[in-house]
Amino acid sequence: MKQTEFLNVVLPFQDKLYRLAKRLLVSREEAEDATQEILLKLWSKNESMSKYKNVEAFAMTMTKNFCLDRLKSKQAGNLKLVHSNYSDENTSLQKQLEAEDSISWMERIMEELPEQQKMILQLRDVEQYEFDEICELLDMKPTAVRVALSRARKTVRDELIKKHSYGIG
């Protein structure tokens, strides 16, 4: 596979790789490094890439495994699993604070989820992957993915209801 072919295949999902790495590693720099490492690994496999049915799924799996290994490593003592907030200068200060508060609550709630539910929720609701893609990425059966997603959403919903109805009733 030549460089232009490689770029045509990989560039469309490069941002997804970064977002998954950012979701897992928190730090923008760590996520950029992880994405670059994955792209280098993909390039080193460019001759055999045509045998993969879904290069994007393969790359996402590589990213997930790389980030989880990174989190387990000794160097990663200060890293944790959270979702980062986005910044938008066009919103009012109050809306920005409310958005930050909501993201903060979601981070805390998601932090309590089991690892598998956290990953499935990220892939489905944030990255907008289809169920069959998630099954392939996580090597799970469709029923298991749906059950884990349902449980994760229910936990998040219940916790948000508790938070918003605090002191009422």
| 90, two tokens | 């066009």
pLDDT in tens, 61-107: 899 888 888 877 745 454 444 444 445 455 577 777 877 877 788 77
Containing H/E element for 63?
A: helix 55-72
> Are 67 and 130 found together in one domain?
no
Do 71 and 99 lie in one domain? The reply is no
Range of the domain at 25: 3-76
pTM over 0.85: no
Residue 54 and residue 20 in one domain: yes
What distance in Å separates the CA atoms of residue 167 and residue 164, rounded to the nearest whole number? Answer: 9
Asked if residues 83 and 107 have their Cβ atoms less than 8 Å apart, the reply is: yes
- Same-domain status, 61 and 125: no
